[in-house]
Structure 1
């Protein structure tokens, strides 16, 4: 492998996966993270089968499976009518080593990656180092970082901007983040209440439609996480209050006792895609390149898919086996997927789950039932929602 150094801004799953793939191929990597240690981010909790297939050769998937829940079934439900349709991911057996969704907190992936990379000979992990600026010339990239000791400049051959939705790398290069922000915010409440004992045949992954208050119910090993939309006019303080959250949970399942809430978070939701994923020696990946609503679990998974795609191409370019223009193919492939699949499907998922018109709701439910009952249509649905179709589409783009 030719000598080169890749700088990575951000030590979330996308930055750390990129570092792992590059380092295992013999590329020197330096990772910069503004936080002092691995973040225990509670947002993402679903790993799709192809993501686990990608991570498996690095010894990570089995670690995650051991600490997660296998969700063989996903369900489309209605708050008034109950179960509408159920889809069995076991039908993917033969095309993946992991025919299920894995319900496992994102921070467990981050922690395992950091454990593997801390003593890797080709990796330098620098926590507490905030990337403040990025620039480049024909021969190198330069970043300015802020540490406890002050400002420092670091040079490298390439830079991966995996520094999240508010990416300093993206903004330094003047790349537009095109799209929109939903007026409502999403409230995620974690509770140890056993919903599975009170809803008949409840799966670990449930999308619950309703014209007034839809929700998503996801199980992780020790908790249920329930996602609710919130009205634009309601203050953050009110939405996060004990009284407000208790009323939402009682509306979902009335009970005599009070729900014990272990964690609560409220965040704005966006559908945005960067106008470019590559500018010279700098590439964007993950949330720095595209963000979407969480309905379908495609955000983190799509970012990890970016990391594998980009890292494989960087390895070929650095080794001299491919021209620099191969990096443009990364942009063509992954930006197309961000627009046509990740953003389009998550936006459609939200539109369907919150549909208010009764005739339209009845039609949606009938279509879901028909899809679930048809073996061929059901498998196509599962492949699409598990992101196999997106990866095949990316691979077809020259």
Structure 2
């Protein structure tokens, strides 16, 4: 695969529109997993032309990354698919821990949490990845877009005007931008020559698979931990298959043996002390090795990296798929605004500026959580409950350092939910637009001016005392008296200011990316 670097310039699609010509697509996405599908949904919803290709000929049915955390659930609400996810997932799953084959403790994930006005999702969701992807594909279809399976990227070139991708069958796709969401072995990243520094632990690994299970209560995620063996069996709502994770058998040379149903059964029998649990109908096997790596750049010219193509890490905390979804939600609105001519190309620089430090933080967090699990199992019989911390919700992730944090004590932080007139703030935020919240009647003039001058970029919402039952919105945003809060399309705060600073909001938005 080959690529040619080029300086940033006006997008090919914008140029085509100006001359009355047409371009093949605004954005080509390589990889139709959760990251690529989330990105496609954000772009298509905004009105950008998008194509999403994947080299696999069929959509998989593997459980893989099996959970949405609380922040990803908020983004799924924004996309209009959280209800479908909630109906398919398990909240507050109970971890049943065993030692020497005996159940010794039950731990309910986030048992002490309940929904609040500002944080409506107290728990993540346990759900197989194939179902997450199915939900996103269904949403994407509502915009008239479908992933294109069996399309393998062979190479691409880029210039000042766009990207030309060549498929393995010789077809070519022209696009303004290309995004590699093509996994840890990312051909896009390799073609760009982007470094992927870190380490791979060739010795420490685990087997993963999907199997039917008889003889266990599906109300629990069963977890056996012994001194030299471990196995976990996680159920899914509405599915006869469970995900199995465990320490693999070794061959005569000490290498991990290939996973089979028979080796899975031996592992379960050993750890459960022959408790009569029967496995059958395996549909997916894999050996997972711990990779901790991060790309040194998330962008080269008109080509971007997201999800596992940009960073891989330990599964502790279940942040792999979630971090990719959150990469996509960050990048999607920015690409959409640029290709639609609502922002200058400089806006795209903020993707790497914001998400690369988050990826580095995630690698450190998952390393620390994995060590906590390993040491806990050895010393005190602790299980995977060691990863259940506030950090893994990613509700605290913000971009206070960003050039898009334009002022105010909460700039860059997550925008909280709150009840409001005829609904909730998350419903007001939903969509590709910025939202300007005006607190108090004294903000009405600023809202009117901004709404008129920034049409197409901005939605305004006035919050008077009668619209804020219990004062939840004022407390969440720290606003006393009349004031303005500008919320980005990805539900982060861009600016908090007095009601007399409406002109600054207008100026910031009209110069977006410049």
Whether TM exceeds 0.5 here: the answer is: yes
For residue 294 of structure 1, give the secondary structure of its aligned residue in structure 2: coil
Of 176, 181, 195, the match for 1:176: 195
Q: Which residue of 2 aligns with 1:273?
A: 294
Higher RCO (CA 8 Å, separation ≥ 6 residues): 1
Q: Using the alignment, how far apart are the partners of 1:191 and 1:282 within structure 2?
A: 42
Quick check: 2:90–2:125 contact (8 Å CA) kept in 1? yes
Q: Using the alignment, how far apart are the partners of 2:322 and 2:376 within structure 1?
A: 30
Cα RMSD between the aligned structures? Answer: 3.0
- 2:116 matches 1:98: no
Quick check: 1:333–1:395 contact (8 Å CA) kept in 2? no
Q: Which moved more, 1:55-64 or 1:207-216?
A: 207-216
For residue 170 of structure 1, give the secondary structure of its aligned residue in structure 2: helix
**1:332 Cα deviation (Å)?**
2.2
Q: Using the alignment, how far apart are the partners of 1:255 and 1:209 within structure 2?
A: 15
Q: Which residue of 1 aligns with 2:156?
A: 134
**1:356 Cα deviation (Å)?**
8.3
Q: Using the alignment, how far apart are the partners of 1:31 and 1:224 within structure 2?
A: 30
Q: Which moved more, 1:184-193 or 1:207-216?
A: 207-216
Quick check: 1:87–1:382 contact (8 Å CA) kept in 2? no
Q: TM-score by structure 2 length?
A: 0.65
Q: Which residue of 2 aligns with 1:156?
A: 175
Of 4, 12, 17, the match for 2:38: 17
For residue 370 of structure 2, give the secondary structure of its aligned residue in structure 1: helix
- 2:369 matches 1:353: no
Residues 74, 119 of structure 1: CA spacing in aligned structure 2 closer, same or farther, 3 A cutoff? Answer: closer
- 2:56 matches 1:35: yes
**1:282 Cα deviation (Å)?**
0.8
**1:239 Cα deviation (Å)?**
4.2
Q: Using the alignment, how far apart are the partners of 1:346 and 1:253 within structure 2?
A: 28
For residue 287 of structure 2, give the secondary structure of its aligned residue in structure 1: strand
Q: Using the alignment, how far apart are the partners of 1:83 and 1:385 within structure 2?
A: 22
**1:52 Cα deviation (Å)?**
1.3
Of 303, 310, 318, the match for 1:289: 310
Of 358, 361, 376, the match for 1:337: 358
Quick check: 1:191–1:261 contact (8 Å CA) kept in 2? yes
**1:174 Cα deviation (Å)?**
0.6
Residues 231, 336 of structure 1: CA spacing in aligned structure 2 closer, same or farther, 3 A cutoff? Answer: farther
Residues 208, 289 of structure 1: CA spacing in aligned structure 2 closer, same or farther, 3 A cutoff? Answer: farther
Q: Using the alignment, how far apart are the partners of 2:47 and 2:39 within structure 1?
A: 13
Q: Which moved more, 1:299-308 or 1:311-320?
A: 311-320
Q: Which residue of 2 aligns with 1:383?
A: 390
- 2:229 matches 1:213: yes
Q: Work out the number of aligned pairs and report it.
A: 370
Quick check: 2:31–2:54 contact (8 Å CA) kept in 1? yes
For residue 266 of structure 1, give the secondary structure of its aligned residue in structure 2: strand
Q: TM-score by structure 1 length?
A: 0.82
Quick check: 1:29–1:124 contact (8 Å CA) kept in 2? no
Q: Which residue of 2 aligns with 1:316?
A: 337
Q: Which residue of 2 aligns with 1:165?
A: 184
Q: Which residue of 2 aligns with 1:120?
A: 143
Q: Using the alignment, how far apart are the partners of 1:129 and 1:242 within structure 2?
A: 32
Residues 128, 6 of structure 1: CA spacing in aligned structure 2 closer, same or farther, 3 A cutoff? Answer: same
For residue 314 of structure 2, give the secondary structure of its aligned residue in structure 1: coil
Larger radius of gyration: 2
Quick check: 1:50–1:388 contact (8 Å CA) kept in 2? yes
Q: Using the alignment, how far apart are the partners of 1:112 and 1:339 within structure 2?
A: 29
Q: Which moved more, 1:322-331 or 1:170-179?
A: 322-331
**1:300 Cα deviation (Å)?**
0.6
Q: Using the alignment, how far apart are the partners of 2:309 and 2:84 within structure 1?
A: 27
Q: Using the alignment, how far apart are the partners of 2:45 and 2:54 within structure 1?
A: 20
User: What's the CA shift string for 1:305-333, capped at 9, x where partnerless?
Assistant: 00000102212323444332322221122
Q: Which residue of 1 aligns with 2:88?
A: 67
For residue 60 of structure 2, give the secondary structure of its aligned residue in structure 1: coil
Q: Which runs of 5+ in 1 are unaligned?
A: 370-377
**1:105 Cα deviation (Å)?**
1.1
Q: Using the alignment, how far apart are the partners of 2:106 and 2:149 within structure 1?
A: 46
Q: Which residue of 2 aligns with 1:375?
A: none
- 2:44 matches 1:26: no
**1:134 Cα deviation (Å)?**
2.5
**1:126 Cα deviation (Å)?**
2.2
**1:41 Cα deviation (Å)?**
3.1
Q: Which moved more, 1:60-69 or 1:42-51?
A: 60-69
Q: Which residue of 1 aligns with 2:247?
A: 229
Q: Using the alignment, how far apart are the partners of 1:56 and 1:255 within structure 2?
A: 44
